[in-house]
Amino acid sequence: MDALFSNSSTHTGDTPLRNAHRPSNVEEIRAILHQAKLQKTPIYIHRDSGQQGLHLVLTRMNKILETDTANLVAGVEPGVRLGDLSDALIEHRLRFVPAATPFLREKTVGQFFYEGCSNIASLKYGPAKHFLMGADILLPDGKLIKTGGKTVKNVTGYDLTRFMNGPYANLGIPVKFLLKLLPEPEAKRLIIARFTCLEDVFGLVDALRSARIVPAYLFWFDPIVQSFIQKAATDDHLVLVEVDGVRDELNDEWQAMDSALRKSKSIMAAEAPADIPEISSLTGLFNPEAGFSLVDELKLRYSDQPKFMDFFYGAPQKKTGIDGLFGQIAEGKIHAFYTGDPTGIDSWVEGVLMTAKEAGGFISGNYHRSLGKAPQDVLGQVEQTLKACVDPDGILMG
């Protein structure tokens, strides 16, 4: 299940952090685990919990250990930034698809999987969890286990790799990831378009579907989100669409894209480089310095999205003008953004979740998991049973 919870307390670098420990190898983590167990001190990973305990910051474990071009697999430590990984793979003409978009460059691989693997390019390439082939995981007792492997036959049967690396999992500390790679596309093109209303945005998606065009990603931002992030008022809806593939086929798709944009009444559309200011500023939605992003928590059927948006924009909190929507509208992955009083986040989230449910949507439950509330379904019961076995003292807090 793809999900990502982002807020200003998520730790992204070597900034000051209370009770922070920055190990550079597995043995140093083992020593920290041993000391924590003796003192019954909780350990938090990738974030500052705001509570007492030790905080593991894994940014110094930032080596790309191997790039296996024959098997299309990379082995990396958890502190490798996705942007650095993407840059390093260019010389091999390879890519780790979830890192191939500009939005997640500042996240580390460890954060990415801990927070639930939001793949911006899932419309064409599928969920990011399918790009995790294996992992080395350090258990609370100091034992190192290896899950998965470089080939598909090594990840059949019980899927411990993704189970142990689920969103906000606290069963162990991943110290190495095996990532599936794909060749770089022969060509890719990005278009930036603006629309006066949501109906026209949906019109673009409908036109692309009719033309059987599957973009690498189609990302939408409402005027409220844009105005806050870019510090400039706008009334337009922004859509970014990237297509990639074989050059000749891409040229045909580009012509069909032009026709789709005209049919959907785009008020502005132009080809753009990936480093345009509009994109650079919007990356803050995934590492916000201010505000709160509820990302990949909500999944709605395509036909249910207009109903959800009508509910959302008509809710009482909208009178304050501080929360908006963005996301992968062609897939029904709608994300919400809040910039109000931090003490009101929980009630705001509950309101958003209820609104989505009333509109026929589905909830991942990862917001509650981020608060330490384990799921109550069968998989949750299995997880809690395993947690009691591998971490009876409850040292790891995620």
pLDDT digits (tens), the chain, 398 positions: 233 233 333 444 444 456 788 999 999 999 999 999 998 899 988 776 666 788 899 999 999 999 999 999 999 999 999 999 999 999 999 999 988 888 888 889 999 998 887 788 899 998 888 899 999 999 999 999 999 988 766 555 567 888 888 888 889 999 999 999 999 999 999 999 999 999 999 999 999 999 999 999 999 999 999 998 888 899 999 999 999 999 888 888 888 999 999 999 999 989 888 667 777 788 888 876 667 889 889 999 999 999 999 999 987 555 455 689 999 999 999 999 998 888 888 899 999 999 999 999 999 888 888 877 777 777 778 888 888 898 898 899 87
What pLDDT sits at residue 272?
Answer: 85
283 Cβ partners below 8 Å, 6+ apart? 102, 103, 104, 105, 106
Q: Indicate the residue type of 232.
A: A
What pLDDT sits at residue 18?
Answer: 61
9, with CB counted inside 10 A (0-12, 13-18, 19+), is exposed
Q: Are 292 and 10 in contact (CB under 8 A)?
A: no
Q: Locate the DSSP E strands across 8-68.
A: 20-21, 43-45, 54-56, 64-68
Q: Are 290 and 321 in contact (CB under 8 A)?
A: no
Q: Are 364 and 5 in contact (CB under 8 A)?
A: no
The runs of H, that is alpha helices, within 14-108 are 26-39, 82-90
194 Cβ partners below 8 Å, 6+ apart? 236, 237, 238, 239, 266, 267, 268, 269
Map residue 366 onto helix, strand or coil.
helix
322-348 core/surface letters (b: 16 or more CB in 10 A; e: else) = bbbbbbbbbbbbbbbbbbeeeeeeeeb
Strand pairing class (20-21; 54-56)? parallel
**Number of alpha carbons in the 13 Å side-chain half-sphere of residue 395:** 25
Q: What Cα–Cα distance (Å) separates residue 302 from each residue in 305, 328, 331, 332, 397?
A: 6, 11, 7, 5, 36
**CATH numeric code, 187-367:** 3.40.462.40
Residue extent(s) of CATH 3.30.465.10 domains in the chain: 1-184
What pLDDT sits at residue 155?
Answer: 53
What pLDDT sits at residue 314?
Answer: 86
Question: CA-CA distance, 363 to 86, in Å (whole number)?
Answer: 31
* Token pair listed for 164: 């142990």
Residue extent(s) of CATH 3.40.462.40 domains in the chain: 187-367
What pLDDT sits at residue 10?
Answer: 41
Question: CA-CA distance, 320 to 108, in Å (whole number)?
Answer: 34
- Tell me which residue of 225, 252, 253 sits closest to 237, measured CA to CA: 225
Helical packing angle, 305-314 and 198-210, nearest 10°: 170
The chain-wide mean pLDDT, for the chain, equals: 86
* Model confidence pTM above 0.85: yes
Q: Are 293 and 6 in contact (CB under 8 A)?
A: yes
Q: Which residue has the tokens 């598909």?
A: 152
Question: CA-CA distance, 240 to 102, in Å (whole number)?
Answer: 12
Q: Which residue has the tokens 């990379």?
A: 74
Tell which CATH classification among 3.30.465.10, 3.30.950.10, 3.30.750.24, 3.30.70.20 matches the domain 1-184: 3.30.465.10
- Tell me which residue of 150, 141, 263, 139 sits closest to 200, measured CA to CA: 263
387, with CB counted inside 10 A (0-12, 13-18, 19+), is middle
Question: CA-CA distance, 103 to 335, in Å (whole number)?
Answer: 14
